[in-house]
């Protein structure tokens, strides 16, 4: 996807409904949440290795690619996202381009959408409306089911960690 990243960085002072900056890779689960949130809204772009308001710090292409692949494998629903890497100011920057989805998209952390600068969880009514809006209701129900299963696995993992800590 060819465009002028330096121009975008010079004009983008803050995150928005369609733009997010991440200085570092946090986890595949959080990346999956962010990708699914953009997908459940208007779509957008995540710039990794960039600190708001556009200060380039760089990122490991290998680590980000691995994290992206793991995140994509954990996403439930019709997702359309791609990753590319560019060199800006001598540093590696990752760009994840996300298209909005025709159906509900879930992540291990739940079903979110991008609202302004934040990731907001969909409430039960929004999820039901999304299921009924989707042309393939069975696919939407499968997405919700897979998301709930993933959340249960995360809860068990956290519970196990707490038990071991005590």
pLDDT of residue 97: 97
Q: Is the pLDDT of residue 8 over 70?
A: no
Least confident of 77-81, 124-128, 144-148: 124-128
Task: Tell me the three state secondary structure of residue 11.
Answer: helix
Q: What is the DSSP letter of 110?
A: B
User: Where is pLDDT greater, at 60 or 130?
Assistant: 60
Of the candidates 52, 59, 105, 55, which has an alpha carbon nearest to the alpha carbon of residue 78? 105
pLDDT bin (cut points 50, 70, 90) of residue 134 is low
- pLDDT tops 60 at residue 39: yes
Task: Tell me the pLDDT band of 53, cut-offs 50, 70 and 90.
Answer: low
User: Domain 5-165: which CATH class?
Assistant: alpha beta
**Residue 70 structure tokens:** 């793991």
Q: Which of 93, 111, 110, 116 is nearest to 42 (CA)?
A: 116
Helix, strand or coil, per DSSP, at residue 103 = coil
Return mean pLDDT, the chain. 86
CA distance readout (Å), 46 to 83, 127, 132, 140, 144: 9, 24, 29, 25, 24
- The region of weakest confidence among 2-16, 52-66, 99-113, 139-153 is 2-16
Enter the tokens of residue 102: 């025709």
Residue with tokens 């989707």: 134
Contact 20, 45 (CB under 8 A): yes
Provide the pLDDT confidence category of residue 14 given band limits of 50, 70 and 90: confident
Peptide bond into 105 cis (omega under 30): no
Residue 117's alpha-carbon distances to 13, 37, 72, 94, in angstroms, are 12, 11, 22, 19
- Where along the chain do its domains lie? 5-165
Q: Which residues pair with 48 in a beta bridge?
A: 22, 94
């Amino acid at each position: 996807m060819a465009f002028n990243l330096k121009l975008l960085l010079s004009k983008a002072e803050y995150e928005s409904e369609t733009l997010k900056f991440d200085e570092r890779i946090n986890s595949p689960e959080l990346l999956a949440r962010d990708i699914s949130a953009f997908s459940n809204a208007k779509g957008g772009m995540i710039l990794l290795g960039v600190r708001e308001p556009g200060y380039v710090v760089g990122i490991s292409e290998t680590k980000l690619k691995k994290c992206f692949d793991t995140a994509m494998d954990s996403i439930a629903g019709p997702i359309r996202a791609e990753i590319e890497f560019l060199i800006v100011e001598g540093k590696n920057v990752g760009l994840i381009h996300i298209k909005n989805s025709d159906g509900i998209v879930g992540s291990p952390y739940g079903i979110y959408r991008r609202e302004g600068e934040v990731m907001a969880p969909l409430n039960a009514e929004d999820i039901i409306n999304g299921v009924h809006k989707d042309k393939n209701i069975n696919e939407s129900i499968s997405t919700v089911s897979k998301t709930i299963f993933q959340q249960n696995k995360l809860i068990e993992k956290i519970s196990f960690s707490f038990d071991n800590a005590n």
